[in-house]
Amino acid sequence: MILTPALCRAARGFLDWTQIDLADRSGVSRSTIRDYEGDRHKLHRATEAQLRMALESGGISFFHVEGHEIGICTKTPASDMAAPAQAESCEILEASGEHSETAVRKTSR
């Protein structure tokens, strides 16, 4: 899976993280995140893995959606459901980086 600049920005937005927050949690410099999200350069695979791990640790899930590029979900425990069920807020990004829809669904893990 490839972490695109648009997907990185969207995932940070779901978590309400600044670039500095992501830098602190991932060990990647803020300037690298800023330049990557601004399409100024590509990431090394190891750097992408650090960013993805930080975003996933923060509560983001990445998934492929047929007919679309990549979707993201934030997982939050649903107060009206017994563990281990969770409610997910999901967003799908088009190839252009545009957001195409947002949905909420319940899943059991």
Asked whether the whole model's pTM tops 0.85, one would answer no
Domain that includes residue 22, residue range? 5-107
pLDDT of amino acid 34: 97
The CA distance from 6 to 39, in Å, is 9
Tens of pLDDT, residue by residue over 76-108, are: 544 433 433 444 556 555 545 554 444 444 333
**In the predicted model, is pLDDT for residue 35 greater than 90?**
yes
In the beta sheet, which residues pair with residue 63?
Answer: 71
pLDDT of amino acid 93: 56
pLDDT of amino acid 39: 92
Structure-model confidence comparison of residues 64 and 20, the more confident one: 20
The CA distance from 48 to 8, in Å, is 10
User: What's the CATH number where 88 sits?
Assistant: 1.10.260.40
Tens of pLDDT, residue by residue over 39-73, are: 999 999 999 999 999 999 999 988 877 776 676 77
How many independent structural domains does the chain possess? 1
